[in-house]
Every structure is written in C-alpha cells, then in structure tokens.
Structure 1
Amino acid sequence: MRIFKQYQPVLIAKYVKTFFSGRLYIRGRGAFMYARGMLVMPDHADKRHRSTVQEVNRLIGQLQAPQTVA
C-alpha cells in the first residue's frame, strides 16, 4: 500500500498505471483501490472520492493515448 502525503493527480496516475493493481491512500482524500491500471470507484463513495477517481482515471487515459508529433 502506497501512502501519498498530498494529492498530486499526475503522480498518482503514473503510479496506478505502472503498478496495475493494489491499494493506495491519499492524505485528506482517503483509501482507494486500483485494478487493471485504473482507480476503482468505492461502493459507498462520497463526492470527494468520486471526483478523485474521475480525475485520476482521466489522466491515466491521457497518459495511455498516443502522443502526436507536430
């Protein structure tokens, strides 16, 4: 279980994408589980959990998208 002392969405997204499944804790936000490289929405999620899961999963999707070179 990884503990993040502050909420840094990009760092968390890279961690979840790299380690694929497990658990993590974000100070001030709570505990989260991730599977298949994405955060999983808890059964009884409050508004803060929902917004965190949505933001981190959106960033993971952006990290996985192929980058175009101009």
Structure 2
Amino acid sequence: MTVERAVFCFAGVMVLLSVALTQFVHPGFMWFTVFVGANLFQFSFSGFCPAAMVFKKLGLKAEKETGAVSVT
C-alpha cells in the first residue's frame, strides 16, 4: 500500500467512524466529520497532510517512489 492510498483509506474510516459516533453517541461528534473534511480540503491546496507524514514514518512509500501508476 502506498502513502496516498493509506491517506484516502484513513480519511474514509475517520468519516465513517465520526458519522457512527454522531448517530449513536452524541451529535457533537459531527465536528469530527467537519474536521476531517476541512483537513482534506486544505490538503488539496497546500499538499500538507499530517497523516501522510505518519504513514511515511511507518515505512510506506509514495507512489512516485514505487513506480506505481495511479488509477485516478
């Protein structure tokens, strides 16, 4: 798995988790969903993603480092 795919996977899991927490625990967890969305939005402009830095430190490689072809 590459860093890029791990970031998308992580973001999807966090969105689903925050929706479940909002539904079953407390409506205030909706702010968690907002936070995840805001991070994705700012990443599209700045390229800065804390999760990507963590995944790199865990040993995942970027697509450009692996020679993988992006399907997007």
Select the structure of larger CA radius of gyration.
2
Q: Which has the higher helix share?
A: 2
Using structure 2 for the length normalisation, give the TM-score.
0.34
Higher relative contact order, structure no. (Cα contacts within 8 Å, ≥ 6 residues apart): 2
Using structure 1 for the length normalisation, give the TM-score.
0.35
Q: Which has the higher strand share?
A: 1
